Chains A and B, each alone.
Chain A
Amino acid sequence: MSNQERTVLTGNQGVARGFYEAGGLVAASYPGSPTVEILESIKEYKEVYSEFSTSEKVALEVAIGGSFAGVRSMASMKHVGVNIAADPLMTFTQTKTNGGFVLLSGDDPGMASSQNEQDNRILGKFANMGILVPADSQEAKDFTKTAFDLSEDYHLPMMVNITSRVCHSRTPVVLGERKDVQAKAFEKDVERYCMIPPHTHKLQHDMKNRIEKLKELAYDSELNVLEEKKGADTLVITSGLVYHNLKELNPPVSIYKLGMVYPISPKKIQELSDKYENIIVVEELMPLIENEVKLMGVSCEGKKYFPFTGELHTEVIEEGLLEAGVLSERKTSDKKPAASVKRPPLFCAGCPHRPIFDILKKLRKRVIGDIGCYSMAMFEPFQASDSIISMGATLGITKGMSKANGLVGNSEPLVSVIGDGTMFHSGLPGFVNLLHQKDDAENMTFIILDNRTTAMTGGQPTAASGNYAKEDDMKVDIKAILKTMGHENVKEVDQFDYEATKEVIKTETNTPGISFIIAKRPCALKFKIQENTFYVNPNVCIGCRNCVKTNCPPIRMKKYKNIDKLKSSIDPDMCAGCSVCAQVCPVDAIQPKGQHPDHSKKGSAKYKRKEYEKYDLNND
């Protein structure tokens, strides 16, 4: 590869390439939007060890191990992943970093695909890390490399904080060569690596000192770029993609673009404040830069003019600058989107979650949900998920609600749903905890949606995927785990056998005690259903809409020629062949393609699903 080869990369691919060029050797992650593509891209580099760990906490620990062993290591995760990884992070950060360590945090201003909007720059400061914020794919690559250098030069873990927009945006990148970095041997040094007092007492000062030193670097670092405009009396301080959105306006201001948003050089800010009448900070989410500048005794404005939530698009920035008096007339259009029909996400055609939530809806159960594709059960028409908080939270929440209900005389049965990926991520402690102070009068049913993959983020393996796919190596047996823990009532169902599954869920939710139902059908995107597509016979259909209410993408009511009433229809291009619609049809109007049963004899047309085992990938 020549030094000057140019290509187009996403921000995620840029980070991956930066890790590679920096000589990175250990990379770990847990799949989550917007950063899932980083580890997927790193997997292409064969000289690197990489893994999707079972959780962000484990991923961070794997990267700490790599750093201890003296090689450049990176953990990448979405912003909320850092929460579960915060425990090792907050203590590891005290140690004098050996091999370069980078924590890549993907933030999601505007929450395109996240449960909250937390600003992880705040966590980076909290953890006494230096924080770099790239604005495009070139910087994603370059800053990742720089972060490794700084981590080793200043002996601290570095955060690269990238927003979802930059993760997915493609921009041109100049590629470089991979650097050969010597491993720095791990030498026994308990004061450096064993984090107990009094070792940690001195380290508080070390952490402060290293940030002070980084401030000196920040003064004239190439990471921070000052673009001065002749005659401007206003300075805008900004970073990341917001810089490019600002540039679209070509405003009459000088711009100080921070590549490193923490720490900031007070000397530099002081100098700039002597030179400019006004300082305005334009940053997404929390006022980190603004507050840092104010703490230096320099006056500036930021959140007074710009929103604290959502993305700062060009139009939003213009509005703030107009209000601040920096701009005098609006150049962008203020045309707003017209109201149009919404398109909320829905379960895919053939999704194995569909029958489960159709059944739960019909049984009108209280359902404590969790994080995964099955979060979408909260939408119409199922509305069969009453809470969603964080990965694995359903177990503790369900138990807590059940205990509380018991104390106030409420005996409502509770259903908890969790996927296999989420179970291995952070559900296992909750499953064990159910054994403590068990009360046989309580009624809790835990449904494990074992679809054998981390579906929502694109089908990464889970710890159970190896049971079904040759390329995956972890073969944890969920039933055996629960049994070994000491849970007795564990059942398995094939949810594409609708009636049998309904019977099991009905029985278990009507019976006191703790029960577990493992729903075994795999993700229809990753493991194709080997069945015919289905069609509706409009002459048999009575228009009851039972099938439509399963909310399958290809099923809708349609006007047929010579039939007055609307009848159901299935778009054959989209049907996956799961047969759930055929099974909920009361008149057997839905049949597999090519089958035209005689409907004159009652019951003779009932669609019968073939035995589940025939479709088990174990047997192929």
Chain B
Amino acid sequence: METINILLGGVGGQGLVLTTDIICKAAFKEGYDVKSNDVIGLAQRGGMVWGSVRFGRKVHSPNIPVGKAHYVLGLEPLEAQRWDHLLNEQSVVIVNTKEVHPTPALLEKVDYPTDEIKEFYERYENYTSNFSNDAKKLGNRKAANTVLIGIMARFLPISVETWKEILKENVPPKAIEVNMKAFDFGYSEFENE
């Protein structure tokens, strides 16, 4: 099989490292060779962060080659759009549209690039919504990343059982139930599209 490349983009503090870890462990449990990356920038919170997971028969580099990403999981819209150059026409874009404005936008030096982001979505097969709101309704807005995983899971050769097992092992015990709900929600949300 061709190596599957998943790119994650987000803001420091959104749980990107844990999300990367979970995808990585699920792929590994399913028997694939896997490599991942997550780069923690200068700060604990607020700065741009990104991660990558690659899995398949044999993976060399953890870095996704330019133009070869199959999926982008955007924990924040601008941080998904930032990786446009890694995508191709077949790529699938899955984004939590809850915006976190960066300093230049907070200080009104630039506008938050809402139109560019919309145009970015339209160029790809995309699944976008404010999943923080959905997760909040399910019990905890922090489970938004698990909704994203649920949406992506429908496309990936990894079983639902594996996903759920890995989620259970890796989220805080108190949050297991809401994460199960969030995964199911994401998995079924776009079923009919």
Q: Which of A305-330 contact B (CB under 8 A)?
A: 313-315
Docked-complex contact A335 and B78, CB < 8 angstroms:
no
Q: Which residue of A lies closest to B3 (CB)?
A: A248
CA distance A548 to B104 in the complex (A): 11
Given contacts A172-B33, A245-B60, contact A342 B102 (CB under 8 A): yes
Docked-complex contact B104 and A341, CB < 8 angstroms:
yes
Given contacts A245-B63, A337-B84, contact A458 B44 (CB under 8 A): yes
Docked-complex contact B46 and A347, CB < 8 angstroms:
yes
Residues of chain B contacted by A8 (CB below 8 angstroms)? 24-25, 28, 34, 36
Docked-complex contact B45 and A313, CB < 8 angstroms:
no
Docked-complex contact B63 and A556, CB < 8 angstroms:
no
Residues of chain B contacted by A486 (CB below 8 angstroms)? none
Shortest distance in angstroms between B106's beta carbon and chain A's nearest beta carbon? 5
Interface centre among B11, B34, B35 (most CB of A within 10 A): B35
Docked-complex contact A551 and B106, CB < 8 angstroms:
yes
Interface centre among B28, B46, B102 (most CB of A within 10 A): B46
Residues of chain A contacted by B108 (CB below 8 angstroms)? 548, 557
Q: How many residues belonging to B are interface residues under a CB distance threshold of 8 Å?
A: 55
CB < 8 Å: which of A113, A169, A455 contacts B36? A169
Shortest distance in angstroms between B42's beta carbon and chain A's nearest beta carbon? 5
Q: Is the interface of A mostly helix, strand, loop or mixed?
A: loop
Docked-complex contact B61 and A241, CB < 8 angstroms:
yes
Given contacts A379-B103, A557-B108, contact A345 B67 (CB under 8 A): no
Contact with B along A152-168 (1 / 0, CB 8 A): 00000000000011001
CA distance A373 to B104 in the complex (A): 19
Docked-complex contact B60 and A248, CB < 8 angstroms:
yes
Shortest distance in angstroms between B61's beta carbon and chain A's nearest beta carbon? 5
Residues of chain B contacted by A376 (CB below 8 angstroms)? 42-43
Residues of chain B contacted by A456 (CB below 8 angstroms)? 42-44
Residues of chain A contacted by B81 (CB below 8 angstroms)? 340
Shortest distance in angstroms between A191's beta carbon and chain B's nearest beta carbon? 46
Docked-complex contact B35 and A345, CB < 8 angstroms:
no
Docked-complex contact A244 and B106, CB < 8 angstroms:
no
Docked-complex contact A338 and B84, CB < 8 angstroms:
yes
Docked-complex contact B61 and A247, CB < 8 angstroms:
yes
Q: Which residue of A lies closest to B111 (CB)?
A: A341
Shortest distance in angstroms between B157's beta carbon and chain A's nearest beta carbon? 18
Docked-complex contact A171 and B61, CB < 8 angstroms:
no
Docked-complex contact A548 and B107, CB < 8 angstroms:
yes
Residues of chain B contacted by A313 (CB below 8 angstroms)? 63
Docked-complex contact B66 and A345, CB < 8 angstroms:
no
Residues of chain B contacted by A171 (CB below 8 angstroms)? 34-36, 62
Docked-complex contact A345 and B21, CB < 8 angstroms:
no
CA distance A605 to B83 in the complex (A): 46
CA distance A79 to B100 in the complex (A): 33
CA distance A340 to B76 in the complex (A): 14
In the complex, A334 has a CB within 8 A of chain B:
yes
Q: Which residue of A lies closest to B68 (CB)?
A: A333
Residues of chain B contacted by A610 (CB below 8 angstroms)? none
Residues of chain B contacted by A344 (CB below 8 angstroms)? 47, 102-104
Residues of chain B contacted by A340 (CB below 8 angstroms)? 78, 81-82, 113, 116
CA distance A455 to B116 in the complex (A): 35
* B→A interface (CB under 8 Å): 11-13, 20-21, 24-25, 28, 33-48, 60-63, 65-68, 78-79, 81-85, 100-110, 112-113, 116, 132, 141
21 A-B residue pairings within 8 Å (CB atoms): A112-B41, A165-B63, A170-B36, A170-B37, A244-B60, A245-B61, A245-B63, A314-B63, A340-B116, A341-B78, A341-B113, A342-B102, A343-B46, A343-B102, A343-B103, A345-B12, A456-B44, A525-B45, A551-B107, A555-B106, A556-B106
Other than A165-B37, A373-B43, give 15 A-B pairs with Cβ distance below 8 A.
A8-B34, A113-B41, A136-B35, A169-B35, A170-B20, A171-B35, A171-B62, A315-B66, A335-B67, A335-B85, A341-B105, A346-B103, A553-B100, A573-B132, A573-B141
